[in-house]
Structure 1
Amino acid sequence: MGDRERRMVFVTVGTTCFDALVKKVDSPQVKEALWQKGYTDLFIQMGRGTYAPSKYSRIQVSGDATLKVDHFTFSSSIADYIREASLVISHAGSGSIFETLRLGKPLIVVVNEDLMDNHQIELAEELAERKHLLCARPQTLEETIQGMDLETLLAYIPGDAKPVVALINKFLGFPAD
């Protein structure tokens, strides 16, 4: 890796099985795209999936470059992995999305189109439209990485729930604070 600064990509599928995402990030094309964007490490949380990624990948660029890859199934908290990451690639689960946005990390959300009644697509596409994250499908992940400009993403600022709570309390007849 030479003088290259360590930059880690953290991939999470939450508690689901999303082998299509894990296989795609393990592909030589996606690893090459990540390497070209300056990333040095790829850490994959693979959930209930059965596909096990390779541990190391030789990237065919100048010299003998290696993208370091590791993986695990579950953790009681992924917050530390997200904090350490320079980029997060996640399934479209709201918990993973909002935890990543709350920590201010750049995020690519990959939608699992195999899920029935997939409300996650709506959330991911809405947040992408608002420029808080990038949205991809497994088959478009490589192109999304190649074309990404993380400088165009806007910080996510959670809304203030107090006016909604006050309105509900008023409606239910509870006294105002």
Structure 2
Amino acid sequence: MPRSPGESNPVFVTVGTTSFDALIEALDSERTVKVLEQRGFTELTLQIGRGTYAPTTLRTRGAFKVRVVEYLPSIEREIARAGLVISHAGAGSVFETLRSGTPLLVVVNERLMDNHQVELAEELAERGCLRWCVADGIFGAIEALELDGSGFARKAYDPGECSIKERLEELLF
């Protein structure tokens, strides 16, 4: 949903507690700020985790604020205030964001071995809950966002019912 003019509309980028330098490096350009501003966002926080790449090009520009942090005690607050979350495809970060209802752009780390991230991202994208890309495709994905600061149209995530307790009871009793 679009925010009112003048209202803060942050973008939160997270790699969780991992290292995903390819994502942070892909975003480290003045183009990032320009494209996000054009899409109605007002600030950018990058949580870079254990990565070794420290952004050198991203800078606060005018009213658009840029903040880089290694870790946060909790990403819940950042997710709740964000107009868009750009996240690695770690299940914890993905499902925490989906539960919040914040638009989510997942970036799959292609360098991981036995990469289950693509499967998770594809399944949730097919359900209409999020969009996904690889680090090299981040600008195309950002440019595809709505111009009104709403991110993109999506379906609400339905976590469904966990029936393992019932299944175990059926088997045991």
TM-score range, shorter chain: 0.7 to 0.9
State the identity as a percent.
Answer: 48
TM-score, normalised with respect to structure 1? 0.86
Q: Distance in 2 between matches of 1:83 and 1:71?
A: 18
Q: Which ranges in structure 1 are unaligned for 5 or more consecutive residues?
A: 59-64
Alpha carbons 2:48, 2:71 under 8 Å: kept: yes
Bigger drift between 144-153 and 68-77 goes to 144-153
Distance 1:66 1:99, change over 3 A: same
Letter in 1 for 2:102: K
Cα deviation digits, residues 92-113 of structure 1 (max 9, x gap): 0000000000011000000000
The root-mean-square deviation of aligned C-alpha atoms, in Å, is 1.6
Structure 1 residue 57: Cα displacement: 4.0
Match of 1:156 in 2: 157
Distance 1:127 1:27 in 2: 29
Determine if contact 2:30/2:59 at 8 Å carries over to the other structure. Answer: no
* Matched residue SS, 2:78: helix
Q: Distance in 1 between matches of 2:152 and 2:89?
A: 22
Instruction: State yes or no: 1:133 paired with 2:136.
Output: no
Shift of 1:35: 1.0
Instruction: Pick closer, same or farther for the CA change 1:125–1:145 going to 2, 3 Å.
Output: same
Say if 2:145 is the partner of 1:142: no
Secondary structure of 2:41's counterpart equals coil
Partner AA of 1:77 in structure 2: S
Task: Choose which of 15, 38, 50 in structure 1 pairs with 2:17.
Answer: 15
* Structure 1 CA distance for aligned equivalents of residues 114 and 162 of structure 2: 28
Q: Structure 1 residues 94 and 41, CA, compared in 2 at 3 Å: closer, same or farther?
A: same
**Relative contact order higher in (CA < 8 Å, ≥ 6 apart):** 2
Partner of 2:106: 109
Q: Which residue of 2 aligns with 1:50?
A: 52
- CA offset at residue 33 of structure 1? 1.4
Q: Deviations over 1:128-177 (max 9, x none)?
A: 11110010111111111111244421010111113x42122211x13xxx
| Unaligned residue ranges in structure 2 (runs of 5+) | none
Q: Distance in 1 between matches of 2:153 and 2:78?
A: 23
SS of the residue aligned with 2:156? coil
Report the alpha carbon displacement of residue 76 of structure 1 after superposing the two structures with TM: 2.6
Please give the per-residue CA displacement for 1:57-89, whole angstroms capped at 9, x wherever unaligned.
Answer: 43xxxxxx4521101111231101111111000
Q: CA deviation at 1:121?
A: 1.1
- Change in Cα spacing, 1:129 to 1:75, as seen in structure 2 (3 Å) is same
**Bigger Cα Rg:** 1
The count of aligned residue pairs is 164
